[in-house]
Amino acid sequence: MLKGFCLALLIVLASVAFSYALNVKGVDLPDTLAVGDETLLLNGAGVRVKKLAGIVKKDIYVAGLYLKNKSGNAQEIIDADETMMLRIKIVSSLLTAERFTEATLTGFAESTRGNTAPIQKEIDLFLSTFSEKIQEGDLFEIVYRQGVGVQTFKNGSAHAIVTIPGMPIKKALFGIWLGERSEQALQKLGSELLGKAAGK
């Protein structure tokens, strides 16, 4: 328990930023973030856009992907057993905890090609990240560290909401944003996180 607490503190969560490199829809994304004694680089960033009634487009959240070394190869990032982070800033009150949970479940189904059974316990644990009310302005940081696993943090807290060991959940999770998705808007966001058309 103490070990896990210390690791959470070491993450010093993304609050340790050195400079701001990109502004997406009014959200500043630092070009580097410290996770423990490692420095991560902003690989790409973009906006999750959702169509309302199939017509009006609404910005839902801004996401940034941080890696040890920049890469445009989605599968290599998904498979990599090294520190990385997804940083998600909520920019709309339309995104509720229930909607985020539902969207994440759909994402897991697509990233695993429907084979969620082997990691269902891990998925259920990850979804507890969204058990509390989500408000516009909330910040989620999803961190993977070798030997630790996936940890999620909210609003700069040094205490992880969850810690989930194992590469299978890591691959499925990052595959939600970087893998093949049926929705065009999510494919666009994935390209932006890979450094293509970031912030456009």
CATH code of 81's domain = 3.50.70.10
Q: Is residue 198 part of a domain?
A: no
Sign of CA pseudo-dihedral 11, 26, 73, 31: negative
CA distance 196 to 45: 9
How confident is residue 22, by pLDDT bands cut at 50, 70 and 90?
Answer: confident
To the nearest whole percent, how much of the chain has pLDDT over 90? 80
CA distance 130 to 6: 23
- pTM to 2 decimal places: 0.88
Q: Is 141 helix (H, G, I), strand (E, B) or coil?
A: strand
* C-beta of residue 128 within 8 angstroms of C-beta of residue 101: no
Q: Strand 38-52 and strand 84-90: pairing?
A: unpaired
Q: Is residue 93 part of a domain?
A: yes
Task: Give the pLDDT confidence of 129-162 residue by residue, as tens digits.
Answer: 999 999 999 999 999 999 999 999 999 999 999 9
Q: What is the mean pLDDT of the segment spanning 78-96?
A: 96
Q: Please give the structure tokens belonging to residue 118.
A: 């082997």
Q: Which of the residue ranges 30-44, 46-60, 129-143 would you say has the lowest mean pLDDT?
A: 46-60
Q: How many domains does the chain have?
A: 1
Q: Is residue 107 part of a domain?
A: yes
Domain range for 153: 2-193
Q: Is residue 50 part of a domain?
A: yes
The predicted structure's pLDDT at residue 55: 67
Instruction: Write down the mean pLDDT value for the chain.
Output: 89
* Other Cβ atoms closer than 10 A to 190: 22
The predicted structure's pLDDT at residue 20: 62
Q: Residue 89 to residues 36, 53, 68: CA-CA distances in angstroms?
A: 21, 24, 21
Q: Is residue 138 part of a domain?
A: yes
- The H or E element spanning position 109 is helix 97-111
Q: Is residue 60 part of a domain?
A: yes
The predicted structure's pLDDT at residue 158: 92
Q: Is the pLDDT of residue 54 over 90?
A: no
Q: Is residue 200 part of a domain?
A: no
